[in-house]
Structure 1
């Protein structure tokens, strides 16, 4: 495996002093000119209807603000009245919205790629944004998830359950009375710990500095990307050296390198020594090993530090949002905890260990998770692409080369596909699985043209199976060991929309108190 890059500096302007001030001043003046006269971010795509810009507005500033605050409402309204693609103005310029009935055209057309979307929207060529670089440069990262992580799911369930126990012991001390917690932050740490337990070697899995980076880098990544999108493309190569948000990202990557690189170097030396001595090299079961296996097979390279950051970006943020939303929907839905607890008592009471069979038996819980993800997906749009060449769709719409496009999740709230779609019904998918011939359908990890929270087709999220295991285990421990409710003066925390993202309120309070589980959670009888 290739070693990480050298320490990242603040760039060529970091030591310029007064000259640096002159550079910034010049950049600002140039930026003003570019913004009004030459900014491709403010040029709509010819031949595709534009919505979201109101009559009388001279530029697209207000349209972009409107998109950030009301994207879901704008798209839902347009999709109801339009059968053909249209465009809106997002923070990164024009975005073509493909109606859901044309999903299959996007899903099967390899001329539209998710990699190009990541490269453009998450700035993978800029220092600090290397966290998505492995997913863009080649297939090592994606294949390591599909062949390494997914194939290891059955063997990591026990370790996930054991780590979940320690997580709850730390975050939820015994409490006889209702005790307030900010669950959003707790969920982030839980997912970071369970992910590290799987992706990292034992000596790093509980490293507090790494756990902090795996959470904070994800948050900083979002903030940095948001700021960069607001800057005209021509200025980004200069501006990113001076932005506090991107400076923080470079510091995060450097910290990750300092933590990870010694392990990578030690393994390389160990392998070389084993080969020299005629011994079979030691095998490891973590993300380093998965990436190494793909590298050996394909000859492609994946930076170990960037790869681990990519695992964190893919695992921590969206999974913690999904887990938090699920908890909120369960606690806020009367009778749900009792219903899920009944299933857990039955399944865990007869289970021999924490394994794949045990988790597959939690069908009601799976349904609640899927329904929560239907109501509140982490992102309103997940089938995101860039057209790598000019494409003509079946309705005659021409997508110019380099255009960004996406398919919205509007069918999640469409009465044609779901009865009473605006009402949370935790049993919805459980009941659908009772139909003849549909027993294996409608699972949390299942994707389809009418269910896109994980995307669909070749580019569907490959880590969703691991996320499903994490969430089921964490929910099981929560529901069996504690009672929950929301403060009367707060109620269930609403989901806040921020552009395409649905985010939870980090200040929201949930109350808990301890209870005695009806069955033991130590299914393998190995806990200390």
Structure 2
């Protein structure tokens, strides 16, 4: 049966519906339908008992507090893991392209004399984001396990891909089709690995140890055994977190690299800001990263010009719903509000079709706008990360990950689009806008990396 999709463009009506309780207008139910959780990730279904989303939000908040404390080694280790992972992945990608019979046709080292190396941007971003995400969730050694990282990346790709396949089949056929798809097998493998990790920690760690998000979740469950929460609830939560974290973050990294590589006039001002912030707050510190307003602005402008989703605030009506103005929404309908069109509205963004990398850093000078300028800020003019109680709790980690990528590239490399060409075109996919997954950038170590 075809559902009815309703787009609410009136701001007052949008405020009304996104505050309605989840038993009536459900965010999780629409995600369950979009990504076919019944067959691909059953632990995240609307009606399944699971660890509340507030737990992962609290865990991420706890980790963010650690990152902001200068005496806590977490953020420096997080930053070091990025550098280690980036260098390792670039080397792996270059070797994989330069070896074998077909390397001449695939590319690899562009010209030994020039020093340029061609690197596929999306695979690099995806693997590095997977490394940071798993470091945050599980720490070492899992975040450095090549097989585990590859499995996480394949899982993150398989869920939306397999959901698209399932939605093309009638409901009665989906259980059979799901049996031959990759996502259910990957879920079982990932959860088996995580279950073994949980058991290993229970056998070896100090009681109530708190090193990473997995420890946080284990302690939460241990305090609620009487409520019948078990370790498999943790593995369900963790696999869902891996899925939620990987592709959206890596796509923003790719878009940002494409914009930087095709707009060289921004490189020197950004490098100067990075240098100043490191001198003032210490190299590799969270305080330094948070002070990089121009870097933050460039990423936010990239996101404004390349929004992942044309819509926001998706809900599924589990019951009939009538707005205060009389508009009736039947049960089973999906409700959305426009997202991408707002970023081209000159009432909110002057000269909206022009890319201005420092748009938001300049807006900070206006006290009325300052609070809305951060990449992580959510409001009715910027809903990439949602708004209200369903705002993405991982957006602060996303911000750190993308900034680390920008800082590392600017400090250590010259880079451009392959063949010094134009920015690769985005790929529309329904109401989504995706970066070119096959495009390459050229990297060349710069003298700045040795300064």
- Where on the TM-score scale, by shorter chain, does this alignment land: which range? 0.7 to 0.9
Question: Given the superposition, is the C-alpha separation of residues 375 and 355 from structure 1 closer, same or farther in structure 2, using an over 3 Å criterion?
Answer: same
User: Paired residue for 1:275?
Assistant: none
SS of residue in 2 equivalent to 1:125:
helix
* Residue 252 of structure 1: how far off its partner (Å): 0.8
Contact 2:178 2:184 in 1 (8 A): no
Contact 2:119 2:441 in 1 (8 A): yes
- Scaled by the length of structure 2, what TM-score is found? 0.86
Structure 1 residue corresponding to 2:210, chosen from 266, 270, 284: 284
Contact 2:51 2:233 in 1 (8 A): no
User: Paired residue for 1:81?
Assistant: none
Report the Cα distance in structure 1 between the residues aligned to 2:49 and 2:304, rounded to whole angstroms.
Answer: 31
User: Paired residue for 1:497?
Assistant: 428
Structure 2 residue corresponding to 1:200, chosen from 120, 138, 163: 138
Question: Given the superposition, is the C-alpha separation of residues 134 and 293 from structure 1 closer, same or farther in structure 2, using an over 3 Å criterion?
Answer: farther
Question: Given the superposition, is the C-alpha separation of residues 436 and 406 from structure 1 closer, same or farther in structure 2, using an over 3 Å criterion?
Answer: closer
> 1:420 and 2:330 equivalent?
no
User: Paired residue for 2:31?
Assistant: 118
Contact 1:386 1:403 in 2 (8 A): yes
User: Paired residue for 1:464?
Assistant: 395
User: Paired residue for 2:153?
Assistant: 215
User: Paired residue for 2:192?
Assistant: 258
Contact 1:134 1:140 in 2 (8 A): no
User: Paired residue for 1:48?
Assistant: none
User: What is the root-mean-square deviation of aligned Cα atoms in Å?
Assistant: 2.4
Structure 2 residue corresponding to 1:388, chosen from 312, 318, 337: 318
Post-superposition Cα deviations, 1:148-195, rounded to whole Å, max 9, x if no partner, equal: 122212433212210121123224459862221111110001100111
Structure 1 residue corresponding to 2:77, chosen from 155, 159, 168: 159
Contact 1:192 1:214 in 2 (8 A): yes
Structure 2 residue corresponding to 1:320, chosen from 240, 244, 250: 250
Report the Cα distance in structure 1 between the residues aligned to 2:219 and 2:326, rounded to whole angstroms.
Answer: 44
Report the count of equivalent residues. 416
SS of residue in 1 equivalent to 2:447:
coil
Question: Given the superposition, is the C-alpha separation of residues 460 and 139 from structure 1 closer, same or farther in structure 2, using an over 3 Å criterion?
Answer: farther
Post-superposition Cα deviations, 1:227-247, rounded to whole Å, max 9, x if no partner, equal: 111112233234433xx4x2x
Report the Cα distance in structure 1 between the residues aligned to 2:46 and 2:152, rounded to whole angstroms.
Answer: 17
Structure exhibiting the larger radius of gyration computed from Cα positions: 1
User: Paired residue for 1:150?
Assistant: 61
Report the Cα distance in structure 2 between the residues aligned to 1:508 and 1:100, rounded to whole angstroms.
Answer: 38
Gapped runs of 5+ residues in structure 2? Answer: 68-73, 92-108
* Residue 260 of structure 1: how far off its partner (Å): 2.0
Post-superposition Cα deviations, 1:311-340, rounded to whole Å, max 9, x if no partner, equal: 211111100001111111122224111121
User: Paired residue for 1:240?
Assistant: 178
Contact 2:273 2:292 in 1 (8 A): yes
Question: Given the superposition, is the C-alpha separation of residues 439 and 415 from structure 1 closer, same or farther in structure 2, using an over 3 Å criterion?
Answer: closer
User: Paired residue for 2:277?
Assistant: 347
> 1:177 and 2:115 equivalent?
yes
Report the Cα distance in structure 2 between the residues aligned to 1:401 and 1:249, rounded to whole angstroms.
Answer: 29
Gapped runs of 5+ residues in structure 1? Answer: 1-39, 42-92, 272-279, 521-528
Moved more, 432-441 or 180-189: 432-441
SS of residue in 2 equivalent to 1:407:
strand
SS of residue in 1 equivalent to 2:38:
coil
Post-superposition Cα deviations, 1:60-100, rounded to whole Å, max 9, x if no partner, equal: xxxxxxxxxxxxxxxxxxxxxxxxxxxxxxxxx43221215
Structure 2 residue corresponding to 1:267, chosen from 170, 179, 201: 201
